[in-house]
Structure 1
């Protein structure tokens, strides 16, 4: 079952007894959880009908006991369960001992009056685990992956329309460039932009530029873009702006290094005929970040990227050992990057 089908079923009152929601896009996972609450629980019942657990603090067997216990004063309850440890690779639960067999038994005959919702903020499940296989066979498992380039722009257009506003051509792209790709952040910025533009108003490109400040990471994207186009004056201007925002020079250097490393990796994989989606999966990156890195990669030769990364490694060593002033070191790097 996909997200659209699951949503439609819930709106028709046909909810599954167990859901496992996983992925890196927390905003969408939380929104799906809110849909379950809105559609299945009356407002006056919510104090008694909504239960929250964290598997980092509570054994799974206690959660199952809760699911099997009749609800108090309400017809059914929703039990939200956080933590990824029992469904993903790595250690399970820290000091908490989870009896997974309790969940496996419950899945065979879930209670009619409880709905279990597991929230796993992790890109992948461990398909080797018996509990993951059992959940896939007996319940609804829904992935919430980061939205790609066109999907992200379509999501922004839809959200803007729902708020009663319109977007000028190119405004969505500027919003993503300035705010990044996290849906929670984009949603907050759209709220602000629509309030500013008014009901039925159009969000212009200039409005986005004025009201949505670039994050540190987005500033670094822009800085590297200016380096790629040999616009060193603009690159330095962004660097000085980051210093005004009290960003630590070593952190700025680290982010620049990460971006150039990403550009090199994307260039290498593109040369091996990988698609953007495949590169995003291989490197564990957001599709939009891969798109930007791919555009920047076309402006560099392999040798240039390797030389820049070597210089950044030397700069990092000299900054951390006090052999050069941190600000001066970054200034010199930016001034000589095209040599």
Structure 2
């Protein structure tokens, strides 16, 4: 079950006895955990957390099998649940996995067991993986694709009592990127500003939300690609005033151009954006933005610009050109390449 579906089920009062949370988005895992605690109305003294890196699994299961000392319900959280992967953590602690397998078939009604597996891939062949899929509420906490990110933003807005305009939501993603933890922080700020039943549009986002460095670099390239060389140079000098290092900006520019080239190549091979994201190990939203820009360049132009990035890097480091001027010239070449293609 996806994170979003799991959260909706919790909001409607549906609480399972065993949860298996897996994936690399620890923010989502923590959010589901806190939702379970809140919906089950469990007192903090009845929330017990273990890590399998320093505690045998059977001790955690024994805790789940024990009636809550203070009455009500008990939540047992098991962190670093690595049995569903091919990973073998360091340490000599032995675990009795059969104890958990027996518990899954008949969990204590007064306990809620959360097994947290912050790993990218599951080993589907393992017996315990199959048992969890059969007996537990499985919550996929993998990175969102673009559609799920937008759906999550809408859910967050509803929870906070405001609405996004279409462009407001897009502009927030453009400024912050797909990092959910940062987005959640910005949503809190936006909600306070617009108030109950308010609307967050592009102007509100521009007023309150600062771009990340990666998004600034994307905006820098976007301006150059759109032949707005003057605006691109103004943004570049704004970044310099913020003490950003020209060589660091150069590296990020080269990275973005490399993504454009890779996206063009994978598009020719009929890869979907989701497949591209998996292949390049990028968030789908990053691939979506790159796909929109990559078509403005021919392959040879991108390869030429990448070579110019390398030449600029060498010229700066060898003292042949000033670093500020070197990146300025590169931005002008980028705008020129876009003009030629247009």
Report if the CA contact (8 A) 1:68-1:111 is conserved: yes
Quote the residue 1:40 is aligned against: 40
1:21 offset after TM fit, Å? 1.2
Alignment of 1:333 onto 2:315: no
* Cα distance in 2, alignment partners of residues 331 and 81 from structure 1: 52
* Cα distance in 2, alignment partners of residues 320 and 197 from structure 1: 48
Quote the residue 1:23 is aligned against: 23
**Per-residue deviation, residues 246-286 of structure 1 (Å, max 9, x unmatched):** 22333322222221121111111111111222222222222
**Per-residue deviation, residues 184-231 of structure 1 (Å, max 9, x unmatched):** 322222222232223333333222112111111111111121232232
1:109 offset after TM fit, Å? 4.6
* Distance change in 2, residues 1:15/1:273 (3 Å): same
**Per-residue deviation, residues 268-307 of structure 1 (Å, max 9, x unmatched):** 1111111222222222222211110000111111111122
TM-score (normalizing by structure 1): 0.85
Report if the CA contact (8 A) 1:86-1:93 is conserved: no
* Cα distance in 2, alignment partners of residues 98 and 257 from structure 1: 47
Alignment of 1:94 onto 2:78: no
* Cα distance in 2, alignment partners of residues 318 and 104 from structure 1: 62
* Cα distance in 1, alignment partners of residues 64 and 28 from structure 2: 25
* Cα distance in 2, alignment partners of residues 73 and 98 from structure 1: 30
* Distance change in 2, residues 1:175/1:10 (3 Å): closer
* Cα distance in 2, alignment partners of residues 18 and 331 from structure 1: 57
Quote the residue 2:303 is aligned against: 306
Quote the residue 2:139 is aligned against: 142
Quote the residue 1:259 is aligned against: 256
**Unaligned residue ranges in structure 1 (runs of 5+):** none
* Distance change in 2, residues 1:257/1:8 (3 Å): closer
Quote the residue 1:160 is aligned against: 157
Report if the CA contact (8 A) 1:48-1:72 is conserved: no
Report if the CA contact (8 A) 2:169-2:201 is conserved: no
**CA RMSD, Structure 1 to Structure 2 (Å):** 2.9
Equivalenced residue count is 335
**Unaligned residue ranges in structure 2 (runs of 5+):** 338-342
Task: Name whichever of 180-189 and 297-306 sits farther off.
Answer: 180-189
